[in-house]
Amino acid sequence: MKTFSPAMARLPAAGSVYLTFDDGPDEHWTPRILDLLAHRNILATFFVVGRFALEQPELVRRIAAQGHEVGNHSWSHRHPWTLSPEAARLEVRDGAAAIADLIGQEPVFFRPPHGRLRRSMLEEMERGGQTLVLWDRSAVDWGPLGRASGISRRLKAVQGGDIVLMHDGGRGINRPGELVKVLPQFLAQLRQHE
């Protein structure tokens, strides 16, 4: 029986908070978020989509150069359950290859699109030496609930040990513009609780 390494969905250290941004890079929102993080000297993981990364290579290099982790969020962000096992495997492989080509190192973390997996994705992720990272706290910065007031309320509930899901990619239903309105206050709150 094959077993898979466990997913990371919460930090073992209760005092730390792990900030993550998905679906980028985005030429408009990612630089703004990077500037806000730099202002507070806070690091995060950016789970980038491979094909978007190749469209914004300098932005991906900037993420890495500023000390942030660049994680694999697949090649095209297609929902895994709509893919054949082989196509799902290639999403992991090709996303990782795009990142490695841009920053010169393989990603160590993988987050599946929509938080959904296929067994072939887990196998490819492990073959590439990547750790699965999910989340236990979401800003819900998308769709009709993705308004600044709601995002702010959800982020105020973040506690030590949380892995926080946010979005820098502005495609589809994501609303990074609403997130950016409240992110400075949230980052200041994190610094106060250190």
Active-site residue set: 22, 167
Alpha-helical (H) ranges within the chain are: 29-40, 50-55, 57-65, 85-103, 119-127, 148-156, 176-192
CB-count burial class (<10 Å; 0-12, 13-18, 19+) for 2 = exposed
Q: Residue 60 and residue 46: Cα distance in Å, rounded? A: 9
Q: What share of the chain is helix, strand, coil (3-state, %, to 5)?
A: 45, 15, 40
3-class secondary structure, 48: strand
Apex 129 CA angle, 127 and 133, nearest 5 = 110
Length of the chain: 194
Q: Residue 116 and residue 179: Cα distance in Å, rounded? A: 23
Phi-psi map region of 172: left, alpha, beta (phi>0 left; psi -120 to 50 alpha) = left
Q: Residue 112 and residue 72: Cα distance in Å, rounded? A: 8
